[in-house]
Amino acid sequence: MASVRREVLIRAPAARVWDAVRDVGALHSRLVPGFVVDTRLEPGARIVTFGRSDAS
């Protein structure tokens, strides 16, 4: 299993940040829009579609 780590300073109340982190079906709209373009929840799985990088 791969891991991606990145440290970012967030200027928002902790309660608001944790609310977004807990919303696992809304990565694309609440937590990392642009980096993730779609998130679907299916029984036993979360399908995450990442944005395309044009840095080739």
What is the SS3 assignment for the chain?
A: CCCCCCCCCCCCCHHHHHHHHHCHHHHHHHHCECCEEEEEEECCEEEEEECCCCCC
**3-18, pLDDT tens digit by residue?**
989 898 989 999 999 9
pTM of full prediction above 0.85: no
**1-56, pLDDT tens digit by residue?**
899 898 989 899 999 999 999 999 999 999 889 899 999 999 999 999 998 766 55
